[in-house]
Amino acid sequence: MKNLGDAGVLASRLELDIDRPVKSLSKGNRQKVGLVQAFMHRPDLLVLDEATVGLDPLIQQTFYELVTEAKSAGATIFLSSHVLPEVQHVTDRVALIREGRLELVAGVDELRTRTLARLR
């Protein structure tokens, strides 16, 4: 059997039943499979696209913990999300892309300040 890294531990933390075939899993559980695959070998770079879609709020918290742990271990994480509170919770810097063009790269606090100024 190939080295599965931290797959078992991650599956347990994400409450994923690894004895079931993937084709029988719900969307949320398939999302968990993808997260296990992404984190199991402790990569230096993670690229995550809408990683919390389909996850219940408790599992989202576990995902945030995994991201924080990866950041603490020195990993670089690119996270694509349309959920601003999620972005504020897990990121240091934000890049906004509109129609394929990079519009802004800023810290979360700067982004929040800019957003509030536009709402006035």
Report pLDDT digits (tens) over 51-75. 999 999 999 999 999 999 999 999 9
Neighbour count for residue 35 (Cβ, 10 Å):
24
CA distance 119 to 90: 24
Say whether pLDDT at 1 is over 60.
no
pLDDT at 114 over 80: no
Which token pair is 116? 């509030």
The reported pLDDT for the residue numbered 14 is 97
CA dihedral 19, 7, 85, 26 (to 10 degrees): -20
pLDDT at 87: 83
pLDDT tens column, 6-49: 899 999 999 999 899 999 999 999 999 999 999 999 999 999 99
Residue 31's pLDDT is what?
96
Contact (CB, 8 A) for 40 and 5 = yes
